[in-house]
Amino acid sequence: MPRWLRLPTGTNIVLAGLALLLLWQVGAWLVNSSILPGPGGVLLAFPSELRRGLMGHVMISAYRVGVSILLAGAVAAPLGMVMGLNRTLYTFTAPLVYVSYPIPKIVFLPLFLLFFGLGDMPKIAMIFLILFFQVLLLVRDAAQNVRAELVFSVRSLGAHGWQLLRYVYFPASLPALLSALRVSTGTAIAVLFFVESFGTSSGLGYYILVESWGRLDYTRMYVGVLSMALLGLATYYLLDFLEARLCRWTRVGG
Amino acid sequence: MERGESWAIIGPSGCGKTTLLYLLAGLRRPERGQVFVASKPLRGPRRATGLILQDYGLLPWATAAENIDLGLRLRGIDGRERRRRVMEWMTHLGIASLAGRYPAQLSGGQRQRVAIARTLALEPDLLLMDEPFSALDALTREELQGLALELAVGRGLTTVLVTHSIEEAVFLGRRILVLGHPPVSAPDVIENPGAGDSSYRAQPEFHRVVRELRQRIQGTRAVVASKGE
């Protein structure tokens, strides 16, 4: 995994956060207008906003993105593994994946809205679809690239069928699965913002665009933006933490 | 091959050495004919056959101890007995202090010790090795060759070693199968009764067999070259 994607240490994160706040403050001073309030006022408005309904929006957004991530992992990872292991299946699906991967999935949103209505379904389906391809490809390639020697030697120890899946192919694909999800967090949150911007009355996207921006309440808008950033950061951190715990072997020297 | 014999298989790249070993391990099936191990036709990997490869045989995501444990676990042996055997073999091979390390944190020699421990913990009667020491530096290689010899002879294991090193074949193989390029040259067997003694390398007989083996191998090459013209 590239070095720049790894989680920096705690102090560095705090320092980087402070640096961003400082940059924001300087920007606010320079612009000197209500459309860019400083971080102080925004942070002060946070607690009261949480009490006035922001918490609910955060929860519904976290729910939508969380379920999408879990679904993408649960569906795309096994499928990717099977596609990587079965030569026939690989041959048939590779062109299909190749053709459909670059299609911007977000353009299907109107279709999803028609099919699934206005509830959580089309939003979850949209984020799921985008994550699905990222996970599918990385897991498929990881499963396919397991060394033949490793499979031979584990088979010689007596492993067969599902034991090979459990002891070889699953752990070999796990870093790919978690990396794919983690690297896609940014996209997932961006899509979340987009799908929450219309046809709904809940979620951070709605909160930012309709409840704040639409009402010219800029401080509130920044509270929403900050919440969305924190949601992304928390998701990223959680996946990174899982990867560090479950795939410790990828981070040792050698 | 008879029970308790130690064989070395040597030959040029692409002559089918490794394929032969995988056939013996039951990991590949012959297109024609049958492989018999212990008088039974082989239909898949056999429980009492151990396999050690040059590299990449260990699970990168499992620690040394977990790697050694894997075969025992696959055989459904209970936890306490597994821990006892893993510890015993790690101590025996001098790698007990490396129990919690991942393969990436081990040297080539240490990795092969783990691979040997993993295989021998299953108490095999047939040990198959595919160039197990060729990626190691000279000192480590001789050390592990000595260890392999001691373990194999001490337990009366039947061993088959695939190698491209003439010295290694002569040191470890009491009978040496020389493969050429089929169908151009026929396989050839050299008797080498001196192997199995840890001081064999220092004896004149060792060097005589090394010379003989080298000539035979060059012989098969010459045949290939002249037929190719």
Q: Write out chain A residues lying below 8 Å of B115, CB-based.
A: 153
Which among A147, A160, A252 is the nearest to B56, CB-wise? Answer: A147
Query: What domains, with CATH codes, occur in chain A?
Result: 43-251 (1.10.3720.10)
Chain A, 143-162: which have a CB under 8 Å from a chain B CB? 147, 149-150, 152-160
pLDDT digits (tens, 9 = 90+) for A176-195: 999 999 999 999 999 999 99
Contact A167/B59, CB-based, under 8 Å?
yes
Query: B9 pairs with which residues across the strands?
Result: B162, B177
* Residue A51, token pair as written in the block: 């009490």
Q: How far off is chain B from A232, nearest CA to CA, in Å?
A: 29
Query: What domains, with CATH codes, occur in chain B?
Result: 1-48+126-229 (3.40.50.300), 55-123 (no CATH)
ipTM value of the model?
A: 0.86
Asked if residues A129 and A116 have their Cβ atoms less than 8 Å apart, the reply is no
Neighbours of B10 (CB within 10 A): 24
Task: Give the distance from CA A115 to its chain's centroid.
Answer: 24
Q: Write out chain B residues lying below 8 Å of A155, CB-based.
A: 27, 45
pLDDT over threshold 90, residue B68? yes
Instruction: From A143, A147, A112, A145, select the one nearest A127 (Cα to Cα).
Output: A112
The radius of gyration of chain A's CA atoms, rounded to the nearest angstrom, is: 22
Q: How far off is chain B from A42, nearest CA to CA, in Å?
A: 45
Mutate to test the interface with A, among B42, B59, B63, B86 (most CBs of A within 10 A): B59
pLDDT given at position B181: 72
Q: How far off is chain A from B106, nearest CA to CA, in Å?
A: 8
Asked if residues A84 and A142 have their Cβ atoms less than 8 Å apart, the reply is yes
* Residue B163, token pair as written in the block: 């190698």
pLDDT digits (tens, 9 = 90+) for B19-57: 899 999 999 888 888 888 888 888 888 888 999 998 889
pLDDT digits (tens, 9 = 90+) for A115-148: 998 889 999 999 999 999 999 999 999 999 999 9
Q: Where does the pLDDT of residue B229 fall: very low under 50, low under 70, confident under 90, or very high at 90 and above? A: very low
Is A171 touching B (CB cutoff 8 A)? yes
pLDDT over threshold 90, residue B150? no
Which among B70, B71, B102 is the nearest to A249, CB-wise? Answer: B102
pLDDT digits (tens, 9 = 90+) for B194-209: 888 888 888 898 989 9
The pTM of the full predicted model, rounded to 2 decimals, is 0.85
